[in-house]
Amino acid sequence: MSLEAWFTVTIVGLLFIALVKNLAPPDVIFLAATTVLAVAGIITPEEAFAGFSNTGMLTVAVLFVVVAGLRETGVLDYIGQHLLGKSRTERGVLLRLSGVVLPLSAFLNNTPIVAMFMPVVLDWSRRNQVSPSRLLIPLSYLAILGGTCTLIGTSTNLVINGLMIENGIPGLSLFEIARIGIPYAVIGIAYLFVTGSILLPERKELLEQLGESRREFLAEMQIQAGCRLIGQTIEQGGLRQLPGLFLIEIDRNGQIIAPALPDQRLELHDRLIFTGIISSIIELEKIPQLVPVADPDYEVSPRKQRRRRLCEAVISENSPLRGKTIRDAEFRAVYGAAVVAVHRSGKRVEKKIGDITLQSGDTLLLQTQPHFQRAHRHDPAFYLISDVENWRPLRSDRAWIAVSLLLMLILLMTTGVMPIVLSATLTAVLMVALGCISAGDARQSVEWQVLITIAAAFGVGTALQNSGAATVIAASLVEATREWGPIAAIAVIYLLGSIMTELITNNAAAVLMFPFCLETARLYQASPLPFLMTLILSASASFMTPIGYQTNMMVYGPGGYRFTDFLRIGTPLNLLLWIVAVVMIPWIWPF
């Protein structure tokens, strides 16, 4: 190799070490490597930062906004709440997860999908005395497998497609990957069904270990006209699927129904008395036309709710509210707020929430005006006021618009009427313009660290090509596999890609392996497509470690997993899918 090639390989080696040892955030490491290679003259400044205008990277950016719009309007929550139904077995839950998570992750970012379904799985596990460690790894794996079924299923597919276009190779259609992705995913699901009961561990859920210290609020909610719960049983309405929530009783025109059994049907004007942790009370508040009745001034309209906030306020010793009932306290007149729920020193208050006489130390969950905390932080009526983190009202009145825009996006991508990046950008712009998400929330939904990592990784990939390092390494690969032909090269590329994606980000692994795939195809005088399809699958094959992919890390703690759990179930899966890819890809895309 030339001096430039050795220098580039050294920088890439140091980059790997820094990523594995977590010496700095991935975006900083890749930017540093790209900058050093540009300063050394191996790539031009234009080549160093060309990734920031790559269509694949830009498509990933605007799809973050599309997914956020679906989340803000409650579309993703609605799907999650209706998922598990009446399943009573692990396999029944896995089947339902497969039927919903797989198609969703084929079109949406995997991270919010796993974030949405994880609490549903945790609560089902708690109610059915099943360790969540039996289901959370499969949840993550299903999201990964679904991402291999369409071009927009994961950012890695879009990045490789963008690189293909830049190198003069025709881009992929929306469903071209599905020719291998669907059988690949089906075999992965079959593996989970067959081996899950054997290889998946039994672990105590982390949240269960901490459950006794959780603060429980008392809330009284009324079913109003238009609420989706009317006519449904408690089970069907998803009121048994929220973690840390218990329906104490139902007040139906003065008649008390207690205990409230899962098959009890709900009716218009029913008053439901709950006790639960704050996150579950907030989930109740997101159900349209299920309204807290402690305070008649509670804002019901989704449009008006967007101008309100949720705060926690602790009643002080000298508060003028002490000794008054919530109904008589007139929170709207005095504070511009409405009471949603009450917590009292871990004790359950045995009366209707509006009749509770406030005491020092009571914690109130309040719906307030935006500046409530700033206006009353020095008010002697309260010991403490704090905003509820990560809370925002759902734009449920815009849900139908969000679904229509998603269908429009799929139609545009399927028909090829306009380039994918323009279709995705148009959808994201309409999400903001039509009120599915605010401009500020749209900006915050973009994961800038991911985008910078992808863009900077392009510069490193270009350096591998410019320096000749990619040619030398690919030639060595061809020489080592020449006796067995290009199929052996595909096998090696998949193996290397799947190992790299466990050590660094999947997008970075794809960008770094891309030049090797092109050069290997050139040396074999073969079509680059089978090699690139191999790279698409291998870069997403993050099954063997929790650090290989963000959804694996998301389930790692709540499932109480150990590092070896991923190795035990992920390694056989990776080997099985390796065989599937090596056998099927040359058959679908001949050399």
458 neighbors 50 (Cβ within 8 angstroms): yes
Per-residue pLDDT tens for 250-298? 888 888 887 788 888 999 889 888 877 777 777 777 777 888 776 555 6
Torsion of CA 296, 301, 302, 306, to 10 degrees: -60
pLDDT at 183: 93
The span from the CA of 504 to the CA of 509, in Å, is 7
The span from the CA of 463 to the CA of 456, in Å, is 11
Which letter does DSSP use for residue 370 in this model? T
Per-residue pLDDT tens for 494-512? 988 887 777 666 777 788 7
At 210, is the pLDDT very low, low, confident or very high (cuts 50, 70, 90)? very low
3 state SS of 293: coil
Kindly report the pTM of this predicted structure: 0.62
Q: At residue 133, what is the residue type?
A: S
91 neighbors 193 (Cβ within 8 angstroms): yes
Residue in 339, 559, 512, 463 with CA at minimum distance from that of residue 7: 463
Per-residue pLDDT tens for 124-166? 776 677 788 888 899 999 999 998 888 888 878 888 888 898 8
Q: What is the CA radius of gyration of the chain?
A: 27
Which letter does DSSP use for residue 561 in this model? -
What residue ranges define each of the domains in the chain, with the CATH number in brackets?
3-204+447-588 (no CATH), 214-387 (3.30.70.1450)
Averaged over 537-544, what is the pLDDT? 87
Q: At residue 453, what is the residue type?
A: T
